[in-house]
Amino acid sequence: MKLRYHPRMFSHFETTVLLQTLFLIAIVAEAMTAALAAGKREMDWVGVCLLGCITALGGGTVRDVVLGNQPLTWVQHPSYLLLTGGAALFTIAVARYMHKLRNIFLFLDAVGLVVFTIIGCDVALRLELPVVVVVASGMLTGCVGGVLRDLLCNSIPLLFRAELYATVSVITSLLYIAGLTLDFNHDLVLAVSMLSGLALRLLALRYGWSMPKFIYGGNIH
């Protein structure tokens, strides 16, 4: 099943500006949290900078490579590399105060998840790809940066743990696609899907909601 692309979906100026602003805030926040993860692994300043860029821009990069969408976002906008790398290095200077901002960064991470997801869906919709690919594109954009961060830090990625993360991305994507399919106003669909995804993520953090775990203790031999 494919959604018919219509330029009206993506042409509203205020919507574009809002998404772009939230995107920039999100990549800065992701780069700063990645810098803290690098600090815990005692990486040098180059490692801090690289991990910040990879975490903030990695999801979109993997999405574009998989979908064949060229040029890559950071190639088209090299300033994103400067912004995320600079944010990561700035974190070194203010690291001693970061623990006081933990809740703010958890909130910004949740915002980033839903914003990246919507942007990923839009990319796939522009390419007129099937619905399942649109959902996968949203999830790749929203989640893969964190996966790359955790792998480079030798940790089990958050995506593969029980915590609601990828689930939030999928639900956000489905709400967005459903609203567009029903031909509701794009701004309304955007607001409802983003706020729903954000609320679900924050509630999961607040109450410890999680997906069921698979535990196997047997011998496979």
Question: pLDDT digits over 101-119, tens only?
Answer: 889 999 999 999 999 999 9
Phi-psi region at 3: left, alpha or beta (left = phi > 0; alpha = psi -120 to 50): beta
Nearest to 31 by CA among 77, 74, 91: 91
**Domain-embedded: residue 83:** yes
For residue 217, what pLDDT is reported? Answer: 75
Tell me the HSE value of 178 on the side-chain side, using a 13 A CA sphere: 8
**Domain-embedded: residue 87:** yes
d(CA 80, CA 73): 8
Residues of the chain with pLDDT under 50: none
For residue 7, what pLDDT is reported? Answer: 54
Q: Residue 109 has which token pair?
A: 């991470």
**Domain-embedded: residue 213:** no
Domain extent, residue 179, equals 7-207
**Domain-embedded: residue 20:** yes
Stated pTM of the model: 0.91
Residue 40 identity: K
